[in-house]
Structure 1
């Protein structure tokens, strides 16, 4: 028997469902990450039970277009009546309820932008096909994220508008989530407009967001809404520290991008510094739950004076509430200084999308004549012609028949994903590079294991001595990769300029051939062989910087992994000259290197 079949929801997940039921459109929605299964079904059933009976509950189809989402012309009614008749879209029909977005990690940027605009405005603006309508669309969006890898995430613009980001996690042994009823939610909704937020709490939430590197202004505003909903659910008319800590744990913790700066006080810091991390917090640490209406203590004095020490203490408590809710893996990444903007912006792992007139997947239509192999989109052509039938028939004075003109023609638009090729450029010079070569071999094998799913290719260049050698041409064959990398030698000088130039040439060829190429350069940034093969550090370094600038001018994507024992200035300077992302990874194994490449190269996929 699968142990997840009998698992209970954690307090965090139950709290999120209750808070979303209190203020559905105000919180925007929930991004729920995890595989489909009994635990996710339990959470969806809980949310549905807490919502008012009869609330709309709609799902977005996998390939929904503008007409399905926003609405459009009702073709049958328009042709029958001879005047434009509007048909409401999915977003307008979801008003007052919930809109479920399955496989949100694979949603297209166009659909994500339309959903984001409607979540912001809480209305659908339809101006197309002779129609001009505004319909209310106040709903909660459930983005079901089933991504398996870190770079498989819904678009960042969509995540930014959803207050709650959750992981499907079972309750720890002995933890029993509160059992809210629909009547509790109804009372909280009636109390919500009267809940006030003290100024110190607002300042504390903003300070905690700033300390954890959260740049979006929506995050503290969402935290304020969550705190007010928690207070209303708690039966209180004013937000207190417990509600603020809950909001910080649920809203700010998943959005953290850096560790807070160390304390500047001369006193001993009670918390571990990023350089010397202490024990990682428990992954299943739950935020403090608000009390039930019949359990909260007597109202505190709202007029209590909040001085500077109390304000600083509140900010520290909110910062620690965020720290306690961050999973250990993410906390370790933040301590290592790795920002998450790149992976958060990745939407799926397919290659970069490119337009093609007649190949790929249909993604709508555009106004054009069906020439050069383009296929006519019959329905959109009829929709464009339908509103004008009465005028055209009156002008023609002939029998009532469908009249289609050239300006009505629409052709099908196609989009295809280009394959992605990761080009490893390895510094194979000197005895210390032997360790890096072993890691590169293992990383290539790990990345190739996923190529059948991601349709990626891998190539390996090694530079040493007086030049650069192509050890592994672009391939998906794991057997060929192992055979080519098995006898990779090391030693000699460091012709860094030659390696960068060879990587630019190979990546340029791949790009011109239709691939999305990403260059991963493993080096310490120190060159001692010039471009012409002569020794000398000064000239070699100048040639390397010149090659890096030419690389950047070609607009290629790159990641530079600093292999020095400590982060070095030459490698950082070289990364800036190349326009490459910089990652200091002095002691990574093959698995860590592969994950770093996947994390940094996410947007190109």
Structure 2
């Protein structure tokens, strides 16, 4: 099972998942929704079926396809009714129709950021604001979302703002089919809990515990504690209570806070108990050290007053201490939340979060999986419409053209003598815009010098072969540049042939000096050729960063290092996506400095085999499948 729900058993994981479906059915807008990470299959279908059956029969249930248009999502002009009646008629979108219900978002990991932004705005405002096609409408809509996340890799997830607005994060991958049974709750239980929800209260102590626990887990968003509070109230209502208990808080922690955790909370070490006699001895010694010297002797008649005053001061001090104890706030029981979180947090959370952070950072430029976006032309995925005339590869969008012309029909008919029902003018023409990903060519520049051959060349060969296989599966092209001795050569021009790539790796010799500048120059020239063909180049440089051969093939470490830095800066100027993998057994500053000059990600791997190098490169550059 994945790190999101790494529980002790699949049974407990499914039990929590079924309970999450019940909480969503009780309060869809309050819980926000469920981000359901699972590949298509009977387990996911069973969970969706349970969520549907627990909802009241009249609850709206709408599916949102990944390629939904803005007019269908938010609403717009009802073209047929408008042309028939001769006046603008508003058509309600899916988000307005699902008010009070649940919207199911298919393939949420591939949703466009613009669509996710519109969906998030409606979730935040509780209303659909329609301002298009000459219309201005506001329609109330509060609902929950089930985002079906079918991502196979770590970086294949819905965009962050959308995940942040969904309360429960579930992972059903790894749950056997025979475990995915039913749910202990029924639709009648959910209906009774809905009626009881307004009467449920949560103490300030437990509410503060959720906030403090979320902060201790590294959750920066305030939405998560609020969603956890609403989920805890729904859990109490489901159990037939009107007061939130620690059990409800623990459940909300597992479902909402733990999947968002970015760090493991530290365990509080209890203070070692000392024997009472030793404690009393230490207190006595401390009091003797802090006791001020006695005042000088004074007359007897003044002493009673001082003694009375001293007694009075001691009484006042005792009263002040009592008042301070009464006014001191009670300790927030954050340990209640943290104990529930520690029971389900994975041991390798920090490593997984680091890889996920790198993958998300590089997601906007996902090399290997898809190249740069190219807009225009008549191929690719539709990317909206624009005003323009058809021709030259541009296709007329008939529906959007009629939609643009519809509001003007009454005015145009008054000045038209032909009797036409629909009058379309050239300024109404709308053409469809398309966008497509260009092909990606991954260029591996491998250091085959004596130092690398002695240290890591065999592991580098194995890692490159694994990465080449991944590129072959995606039908991308790969190229191989090797540098050793006095220069560099292209062992493998851009190709899709995996067999040819393996032969190039098998014939990769090792030994000699490190002409690093020549290797980078050769890779840069190859990236230029790739760009001229319309593809997107990605450069992966595997080296220890210690150059000792100049461009002329002569020795001289200082000059060779300077030339390597200059060649790396040329890569940065060209804006090439690059990664420097430091293959030396003990990483030195030269590798990091080279990556900074190149504007590339730096990945030191002093102790790693071919598989770990391949996995790390895929996580950083997004070259996973």
Q: The TM-score by the shorter chain falls in which range?
A: 0.7 to 0.9
Question: Where does residue 333 of structure 1 map in the other structure?
Answer: 352
Higher deviation after alignment, 99-108 or 209-218: 209-218
Consecutive unaligned residues in structure 1, runs of 5 or more: 1-6, 269-303
The alpha-carbon distance between structure 1 residues 345 and 257, as it changes in their structure 2 partners (threshold 3 A), is: farther
Check conservation: 1:421, 1:457, Cα contact below 8 A.
yes
Higher deviation after alignment, 32-41 or 225-234: 225-234
Check conservation: 1:465, 1:491, Cα contact below 8 A.
yes
Q: Deviations over 1:26-64 (max 9, x none)?
A: 232212122222211221121112211121122123422
Check conservation: 1:549, 1:577, Cα contact below 8 A.
yes
Return the alpha-carbon distance in structure 2 between the equivalents of residues 423 and 114 of structure 1.
38
Return the alpha-carbon distance in structure 1 between the equivalents of residues 555 and 207 of structure 2.
61
Question: Where does residue 59 of structure 1 map in the other structure?
Answer: 63
Q: How does 1:396-415 map to 2 (within 5 A)?
A: 396-415=416-435
Check conservation: 1:518, 1:604, Cα contact below 8 A.
no
Question: Where does residue 392 of structure 1 map in the other structure?
Answer: 412
Q: How does 1:565-584 map to 2 (within 5 A)?
A: 565=585, 568-584=588-604
Q: Deviations over 1:113-133 (max 9, x none)?
A: 322222222322211112111
Check conservation: 1:151, 1:598, Cα contact below 8 A.
no
Question: Where does residue 523 of structure 1 map in the other structure?
Answer: 543
Q: Deviations over 1:57-83 (max 9, x none)?
A: 221234221122122211111111110
Question: Where does residue 164 of structure 1 map in the other structure?
Answer: 168
Check conservation: 2:355, 2:620, Cα contact below 8 A.
no
Question: Where does residue 188 of structure 1 map in the other structure?
Answer: 193
Check conservation: 1:549, 1:578, Cα contact below 8 A.
yes
The alpha-carbon distance between structure 1 residues 539 and 252, as it changes in their structure 2 partners (threshold 3 A), is: farther
Check conservation: 1:448, 1:476, Cα contact below 8 A.
no
Q: Secondary structure at the match of 1:340?
A: helix
Q: Secondary structure at the match of 1:325?
A: coil
Q: Secondary structure at the match of 1:490?
A: coil
Give the CA deviation at 1:219.
3.4
Q: Secondary structure at the match of 2:402?
A: helix
Q: Deviations over 1:164-198 (max 9, x none)?
A: 22111437999998611223323433444454555
Question: Where does residue 223 of structure 1 map in the other structure?
Answer: 228
The alpha-carbon distance between structure 1 residues 24 and 111, as it changes in their structure 2 partners (threshold 3 A), is: same
Check conservation: 2:565, 2:594, Cα contact below 8 A.
yes
The alpha-carbon distance between structure 1 residues 79 and 586, as it changes in their structure 2 partners (threshold 3 A), is: same
The reply to whether residue 352 of structure 1 matches residue 377 of structure 2 is no
Question: Where does residue 318 of structure 1 map in the other structure?
Answer: 337
Return the alpha-carbon distance in structure 1 between the equivalents of residues 378 and 118 of structure 2.
26
Length-normalised TM-score, structure 1:
0.82
Give the CA deviation at 1:483.
0.6
Consecutive unaligned residues in structure 2, runs of 5 or more: 1-9, 273-324
Q: Which has the larger radius of gyration?
A: 2
The alpha-carbon distance between structure 1 residues 130 and 503, as it changes in their structure 2 partners (threshold 3 A), is: same
Give the CA deviation at 1:134.
1.6
Q: How does 1:65-214 map to 2 (within 5 A)?
A: 65-168=69-172, 169-170=174-175, 179-198=184-203, 201-214=206-219
Question: Where does residue 260 of structure 2 map in the other structure?
Answer: 255
Length-normalised TM-score, structure 2:
0.79
Q: Deviations over 1:521-561 (max 9, x none)?
A: 22333333345544444444433333333322322222222
Return the alpha-carbon distance in structure 2 between the equivalents of residues 456 and 244 of structure 1.
49
The reply to whether residue 45 of structure 1 matches residue 49 of structure 2 is yes
Q: Name the structure with the higher helix share.
A: 2
Q: How does 1:426-437 map to 2 (within 5 A)?
A: 426-433=446-453, 436-437=456-457
Return the alpha-carbon distance in structure 2 between the equivalents of residues 389 and 75 of structure 1.
12
How many residue pairs align between the two structures? Answer: 559
Over the aligned positions, Cα root-mean-square deviation in angstroms equals 3.5
Q: Deviations over 1:256-315 (max 9, x none)?
A: 44555x6797989xxxxxxxxxxxxxxxxxxxxxxxxxxxxxxxxxxx99978954xx44
Q: How does 1:486-505 map to 2 (within 5 A)?
A: 486-505=506-525
